Amino acid sequence: MKNKFEHDWAVHPQETIVELLSELIEKQSDFKKEEMEELIQGNLDIDDKIAQKLENLFKVPKNFWLNLQKNYNK
C-alpha cells in the first residue's frame, strides 16, 4: 500500500510561491520571513529601513525604492 497525502482544502499557488520566496530571501538577506511576506503581498510600506534592505539585496539604490513608495502614496 502506497502512502499518499490527501487533503480536503486548496491553496492558491501564490501562497506557496510567497512562502518559498520569503524563505529564500530570508536566507540571502537581513529580511525576516514575515517581513518579506508582508512586503510581497503589498501590506508593508517601504520606509528607509526597508529600502536599505532592498538595496542590499537587489543592488538597486534605496532612493529608487523610496521614490516608488512616495509615488504610489500620491
Q: Do 5 and 37 contact (CB within 8 A), yes or no?
A: no
Q: Does the structure show a pLDDT above 70 at 60?
A: yes
Give the tens place of pLDDT for each residue, 9-54: 788 888 888 888 888 888 888 888 889 889 888 999 999 999 999 9
- The pLDDT of residue 22: 84
φ/ψ (deg, to 5) at 64: -60, -50
- The pLDDT of residue 18: 83
Cα–Cα nearest to 21, from 5, 36, 43: 36
Q: What cell numbers appear for 2 in the block?
A: 502506497
Q: Do 69 and 45 contact (CB within 8 A), yes or no?
A: yes
